[in-house]
């Protein structure tokens, strides 16, 4: 999936080479191993097909360590509520871990992501240049 142009739309890196996709996959696994939270596969119950991922990953924004919600889903499964369902469970988990807030960011033109974050209760805080993209930052107090 990390090599699919549509799946990786709005990524600062675009669709990845095989080697870059492997590296990113192992980064996600290592993050989970080190912090006991991270990006999780979204799997359809009936077919067991992996259709995307959703979860939190540490990042540094303006010199401050933050827990950032990130998600991607294959084109044919968008707008079916899977990201909302997964995000709500993962946000609750971060609250139970005593996080005071979480953040998200999205490319400024990715209005579907902005709308999804608003549905999840995130508030737009500012716009900035981050990871070679013009992005909007969002925050949700827990």
CATH of residue 86's domain is 3.40.630.30
- Domain of 79? 18-141
pLDDT at 27 over 60: yes
Q: Which residue has the tokens 């939270």?
A: 37
In a domain, 5, yes or no: no
In a domain, 3, yes or no: no
In a domain, 39, yes or no: yes
Rama region for 21: left / alpha / beta (φ>0; ψ in -120 to 50; rest) = alpha
CB 71 within 8 A of CB 81: no
In a domain, 124, yes or no: yes
CB atoms within 10 A of CB 82: 19
Q: Looking at the 3D structure of the chain, how many domains does it have?
A: 1
pTM of the predicted structure, to 2 decimals = 0.87
Q: What CA–CA distance (Å, rounded) separates 112 from 115?
A: 5
Q: What is the rounded average pLDDT for all residues in the chain?
A: 89
pLDDT in tens, 42-52: 999 999 998 99
DSSP string covering 66-100: EEEEEEEE-GGGTTSSHHHHHHHHHHHHHHHTT-S
In a domain, 75, yes or no: yes
pLDDT at 3 over 60: no
DSSP string covering 38-52: -EEEEE-TTT--EEE
């Amino acid at each position: 999936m990390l090599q699919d142009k549509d799946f990786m739309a709005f990524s600062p890196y675009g669709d990845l080479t095989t080697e870059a996709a492997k590296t990113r996959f192992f980064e996600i696994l290592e993050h989970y191993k080190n912090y006991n939270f991270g990006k999780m596969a979204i799997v359809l119950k009936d077919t067991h097909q992996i259709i995307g991922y959703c979860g939190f990953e540490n990042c540094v924004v303006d010199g401050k360590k933050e827990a950032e919600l990130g998600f991607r889903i294959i084109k044919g499964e968008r707008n079916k509520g899977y990201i909302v369902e997964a995000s709500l469970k993962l946000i609750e988990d971060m609250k139970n871990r005593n996080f005071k807030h979480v953040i998200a960011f999205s490319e400024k033109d990715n209005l579907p992501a902005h709308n999804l974050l608003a549905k999840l209760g995130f508030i737009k805080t500012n716009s900035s240049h981050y990871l070679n993209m013009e992005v909007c930052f969002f925050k949700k107090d827990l």
